[in-house]
Amino acid sequence: MATKSLDTKYSDPPNMQDIVEELNGLPTMGEVNILIKRVFPEWQVANLDGYCGFYPHLTTNWDTICNKIGVKSTQVLIVRELAFDDDHILLRNFVECLTRSGFSVKRMVDYVPCVKCDRIAVPTPQIHSIMKEKGVSVPDRNIPTCKACR
């Protein structure tokens, strides 16, 4: 039984299985990106060079995952929504493909581009607070500017 969808905009289309088969046959990430933009044109928001230096654990975690799957970390990809329920199998496939290619896929409500350079991912106040509550070493205040631009 399917679980309730978070956002119907990114729910599986009727031809989901055909799209997954097409995805599995694509030889390059450029072609994967074209497919993603064709199916969910507004899903991708930003491609960023990495995480803010004030949050080194984010880069460490990303590198650990990439090392485990044998790829080099590439970029932080900010997307509108992530959903992993039974109504979003295609979205899950896109995220898995991107992750296996070295991308760190994050929601735009959790991470934003630095307001100065627009190239580095900075946690939103909500995510910053969660990190503080969990005892992660983070700056006292959340500022939407990366370490390099401060």
Taking only the tens place, the pLDDT of each residue in 71-111 is: 999 999 999 999 999 999 999 999 999 999 999 999 999 99
* CA–CA–CA angle 58, 47, 134 (5° rounding): 20
Distance CA 35, CA 72 (A): 23
Distance CA 77, CA 111 (A): 10
pLDDT digits (tens, 9 = 90+) for 16-49: 999 999 999 999 999 999 999 999 999 999 999 9
Length of the chain: 150
